[in-house]
Amino acid sequence: MCLGIPGQIVEITDEARLMAMADVSGVQREVSLAPVSDRPLADLVGEWVLIHVGFAMAVIDEHEAAETLEALRGLGEAQEALEAMEQGARAFDEPVRENAQ
């Protein structure tokens, strides 16, 4: 399964290599614009893109980006809850150890 994360292009970092800086929930990282370079790169600044393994795979609208980010946050919260439940279940499975003196 592939997972794309929405990010907003904030600047072109290397036009010759089709590279740009994207902001993904406050974290900036460099991504390749090669898959979406069907227009002048300067036109992509401010656009939202779906990023997968360092590549901007598709241009998406701001509404779709917001919905996707909210869904990903929800998945993260669900994962945290599952991990907490698993740790709680393990606590019941571990043998009780008394201090031997």
What is the DSSP code string of 18-86? TEEEEEETTEEEEEE-GGG-SS-GGGGTT-EEEEETTEEEEEE-HHHHHHHHHHHHHHHHHHHHHHHHH
Is domain 5-93 in CATH 2.30.30.140, yes or no? Answer: yes
pLDDT of residue 66: 93
In the chain, where the domains are located: 5-93
- What pLDDT shows up at residue 98? 55
Q: Which residue has the higher pLDDT, 1 or 46?
A: 46
- The predicted model scores a pTM of 0.74
Q: Which two tokens stand for residue 74?
A: 């929800």
Q: Do residues 5 and 72 lie in contact, with contact meaning Cβ atoms separated by under 8 Å?
A: yes
- List all residues 6 or more positions away from 34 whose beta carbon is below 8 Å from its beta carbon: 18, 55
pLDDT at 61: 96
Unique residue bearing structure tokens 């008394």: 98
Per-residue model confidence as pLDDT tens digits over 30-79: 999 999 999 999 999 999 999 999 999 999 999 999 998 888 888 887 77
